[in-house]
Amino acid sequence: MPKTASIYIRIDPQIKAEIQAIYAKYGISVTEAINIFLHQSRNVGGLPFDLRETRYNAETEAAIQEAREIMSGKRKAKMYTTVDELFSDLGDD
């Protein structure tokens, strides 16, 4: 039985660069990270993480939607000229 086997994958170059930077912080290569993933998959008998969609409560969902609308220009962001003005507005809720 061979001591190693090769897996070839195609990946977006930008994603590869981002992943390399992330793993470099841990002192490991992408190859080492993939090996960790595969070993952990074997250890748990499946994917080593949960495949669920992130769900937020209604207040957080509304805040996310508001932020998206502000970023897209569909909604104007509130602006304050002083910190006192901001805190005054926060106290009104």
* Tens-place pLDDT, residues 21-47: 999 999 999 999 999 999 999 999 999
Containing domain of residue 81, as a range? 58-91
Whether 65 maps to a domain, the answer reads yes
Cβ–Cβ under 8 Å, residues 40 and 46: no
Mean pLDDT over each residue of the chain, to the nearest integer = 91
**Per-residue pLDDT at 2:** 67
What string of pLDDT tens digits covers the 93 residues of the chain?
Answer: 567 889 999 999 999 999 999 999 999 999 999 999 999 999 999 999 988 888 899 999 999 999 999 999 999 998 999 999 999 988 865
Looking at the structure, tell me whether residues 37 and 62 fall in a common domain: no
Reference 33, options 48, 44, 45; nearest CA is 48
Q: Is residue 25 part of a domain?
A: yes
Q: How many domains does the chain have?
A: 2
Would the pTM of this model clear 0.75, i.e. be above it? Answer: no
Kindly give the residue spans of alpha helices, DSSP state H, lying in the chain. Answer: 13-24, 30-44, 58-72, 83-91
Q: Is residue 63 part of a domain?
A: yes
In a domain, 8, yes or no: no
Domain presence at residue 53: no
